[in-house]
Amino acid sequence: MKALRLYSFLNRSRRMQWNDVRIFLTVAETGSLSAAARRLKLSQPTVGRRIQSIEHALGLHLFDRRPDGFALTAAGSELLPVAGDMARAADTIERQRPAMEGSLAGVVRIAAGGWMSRFLSQHALELTAGLPGLELEIFNAYQFANLARREADLALRNQRPQDGKLAVRRLQHPLYAIYGSRRYVQDNPKARTEARFRACRWVGFDETSAHLPTARWLAGRLSGEPTLRCTQSINILDGIKGGFGLGVIPCFVGEQEADLIRVSAPLPDDRSELWMVIHEDLRRAPRVRAVVDSIAALFERHRRVLAPAGRRV
């Protein structure tokens, strides 16, 4: 009966509200309005209003509001598999439409970490050259975007996914090194030595990104946490440029900054990987395939920028 109410709600809408189904699913998965809002790229009030609207239209109480987040009620749990089936069906139709249209015009959404988002944005003109009508959406996603739920069309990840429904393509991963501002390094001679880990201030990621390879590498060498901790990579760069301390950033970023000095050789890259990941249903869609090929070519052209040969520091 509750499943019929959900279908009825969608059919009565002036347009098919597949987004409402996705909002319901995301809140159910994350257990939080704020986490769901971040994943969906919406405001928290918008997500809250849409949940209230769905509950009102269905006449059902779907979530219990608790101090530690949102928990599904019995009615919400009953609707969960129905909503999942509907969202997957809508995604399948959406994925197959570009292939049927055969057009490059439209949007391709790319999820990547902060540094790779920066690299793609800086070379957006190269990426879209010869692809008329193509639009790109590039967004930071330190947590893996769920491609099955169409949170992105493709993603750049530093780990190879194990899901068999995902197509992967290995890319040239960027090398990282330790950088500091010219003035900070001049004022702190130990910045150029191994004593830097005890004697210098450091700028790094906060605990939400502690799983990233560079964050783990740095954590293994500091006696505590970085003195300045940031959520976004651009803020790490700003902290280093501002003279707060040393930080680990990609060489392709640090070498572009005239006021930064590299004080270490590139970090060991034996465990570093970078993968372009596409859902199997999308890999043959013309515009997605075109972007995949364009990204692969971009990384090949800039191989020496991403992974520069060792230079004197």
Tell me: pLDDT of 150 over 70: no
Residue pair 230/239 in contact (Cβ under 8 Å)? The answer is yes
Distances (CA, A) of 221 to 113, 197, 216: 23, 6, 9
Regarding predicted confidence, which is higher, 163 or 234? 234
CATH, range 106-169+273-302 = 3.40.190.10
Q: What are the tens digits of pLDDT across the range 59-95?
A: 888 999 888 889 999 888 888 888 887 777 766 666 5
Tell me: pLDDT of 247 over 80: yes
User: Each residue of 183-221: b (16+ CB within 10 Å) or e?
Assistant: ebbeebeebbeeebbeebbbbbbeeebeebbbbeebeee
Read off the pLDDT of each residue in 230-248 and give the average, rounded to a whole number. 96
The model's confidence at residue 13, banded by pLDDT at 50, 70 and 90, is: very low
The model's confidence at residue 12, banded by pLDDT at 50, 70 and 90, is: very low
Tell me: pLDDT of 312 over 50: no
CA-CA distance, 61 to 74, in Å (whole number)?
A: 9
Which H or E run contains 157? strand 154-157
Residue pair 230/204 in contact (Cβ under 8 Å)? The answer is yes
Regarding predicted confidence, which is higher, 144 or 243? 243
CA-CA distance, 203 to 187, in Å (whole number)?
A: 17
- Which residue has tokens 């879209």? 128
Distances (CA, A) of 246 to 138, 183, 217, 224, 252: 28, 11, 14, 15, 17
Tell me: pLDDT of 295 over 60: yes
pLDDT of 100:
46
Tell me the chain's radius of gyration from C-alpha atoms: 23
At 275 the three-state DSSP class reads strand
Q: Where are the domains of the chain?
A: 2-99, 106-169+273-302, 176-262
CA-CA distance, 150 to 137, in Å (whole number)?
A: 13
pLDDT of 17:
62
Tell me: pLDDT of 259 over 90: yes
**Mean pLDDT of the chain, nearest integer:** 84
Tell me: pLDDT of 106 over 50: yes
CATH, range 176-262 = 3.40.190.10
The model's confidence at residue 102, banded by pLDDT at 50, 70 and 90, is: low
* Longest CA pairwise span in the chain (Å): 72
Alpha carbon 286 to its chain's center = 23
Per the structure block, which two tokens stand in for 245?
């301390």
Tell me: pLDDT of 313 over 60: no
Read off the pLDDT of each residue in 307-311 and give the average, rounded to a whole number. 68
Provide the percentage of residues in the chain whose pLDDT is more than 70: 83
- Which residue has tokens 């040393």? 246
CA-CA distance, 192 to 178, in Å (whole number)?
A: 9
- CATH 1.20.140.10 at 2-99, yes or no: no
pLDDT of 181:
97
pLDDT of 306:
92
Read off the pLDDT of each residue in 131-153 and give the average, rounded to a whole number. 75
Q: What are the tens digits of pLDDT across the range 192-229?
A: 999 999 999 999 999 888 888 889 999 999 988 999 99
2-99 against 176-262: fold identical: no
Question: Which residue, among 272, 271, 276, 273, has the nearest Cα to 169 in the 3D structure?
Answer: 276
pLDDT of 311:
46
